[in-house]
């Protein structure tokens, strides 16, 4: 069991999914009979994490009403609700300001990737990194945008969506980030981790680690429909519910 806190971004509008899920919050889209976010929490629990903060915005009441304190799941769930859309960086900064933790695991609430989180944390600590990204081999890397690293694992370039990238590695949406980095994110406006915070750290202690396994994403109706027909893959990636 690890005492590190996990921050899960679960406040997105998910407008591209509205034809498939209506007004349901994106992270609560049903897959294999349960909200997608519940599968993600299964993964977190299975990896030995107990302290979770769900970063909410749109549909906050529905998410908090469903998951509550988390005690029945063996978790301690806190909530950080955006007063207005703050972007991924702004939402994480707002949540982190509530806790004295030295560093956090940060995860996207609309994707699931099976990796040993302890290995990502160990790599982060070994390098003395400011932030460390998990990378996945994507079937359509041009759709996500790529990440390129040097021989030591330090990120040297982000590749825009649609451009070719060496190795086909993409951001898997799972990070270890030092509190000091989050403190520097401007407050009072929307900030993107992916487009602003991480690019500013290139050459300044930003590392990435590639892992094998499928990257499960519910970004658009096509992906959600595909997952609903392959629900076994989601359950296998998350681990059996407890």
Residue 171 has pLDDT above 80, yes or no: yes
Assess whether 161 carries a catalytic annotation: yes
- Residue 6 contacts by C-beta under 8 Å, 6 or more apart in sequence? 44, 49, 51, 52, 53, 104, 105, 106, 107
Q: Which domain holds residue 118?
A: 5-238
- Say what percent of the chain tops pLDDT 90: 57
pLDDT at 22: 56
| pLDDT, tens only, 57-68 | 888 999 999 999
Helix (H) or strand (E) holding 103: strand 103-108
Helix count (H) and strand count (E) of the chain?
10, 13
Query: How many domains are there within the chain?
Result: 1
- Say what percent of the chain tops pLDDT 70: 81
pLDDT at 83: 92
| pLDDT, tens only, 10-43 | 987 655 554 555 567 888 888 878 898 998 999 8
> pLDDT band for position 154 (50/70/90)?
very high
R_g over Cα of the chain: 17
How do strand 5-9 and strand 103-108 relate by DSSP bridges? parallel
- By residue count, the chain amounts to 242
Mean pLDDT of 71-100: 95
CATH label of the domain that carries residue 162: 3.90.550.10
Marked catalytic residue, from 26, 72, 127, 161 = 161
Q: What are phi and psi of 40, to 5 degrees?
A: -65, -40
């Amino acid at each position: 069991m690890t005492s590190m806190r996990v921050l899960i971004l679960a406040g997105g509008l998910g407008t591209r999914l509205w034809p498939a899920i209506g007004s349901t919050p994106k992270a609560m889209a049903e897959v294999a009979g349960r909200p997608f976010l519940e599968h993600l929490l299964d993964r977190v629990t299975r990896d030995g994490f107990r302290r979770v903060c769900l970063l909410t915005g749109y549909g906050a009441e529905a998410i908090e009403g469903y998951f509550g304190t988390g005690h029945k799941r063996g978790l301690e769930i806190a909530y950080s609700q955006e007063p207005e859309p703050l972007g991924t960086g702004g939402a994480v900064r707002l949540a982190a300001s509530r806790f004295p933790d030295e560093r956090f695991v940060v995860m996207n609430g609309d994707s699931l990737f099976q990796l040993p989180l302890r290995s990502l944390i160990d790599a982060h600590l070994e390098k003395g990194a400011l932030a460390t990204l998990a990378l996945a081999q994507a079937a359509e890397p041009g759709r996500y945008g790529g990440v390129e690293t040097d021989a030591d694992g330090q990120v040297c370039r982000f590749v825009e969506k649609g451009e070719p990238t060496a190795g086909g590695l993409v951001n898997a949406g799972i990070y270890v980030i030092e509190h000091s980095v989050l403190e520097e994110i401007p407050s009072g406006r929307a900030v993107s981790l992916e487009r602003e915070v991480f690019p500013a750290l290139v050459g300044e202690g930003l590392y990435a680690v590639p892992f094998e396994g499928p990257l499960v994403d519910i970004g658009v109706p096509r992906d959600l429909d595909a997952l609903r027909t392959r629900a076994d893959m989601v359950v296998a990636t998350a681990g059996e519910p407890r």
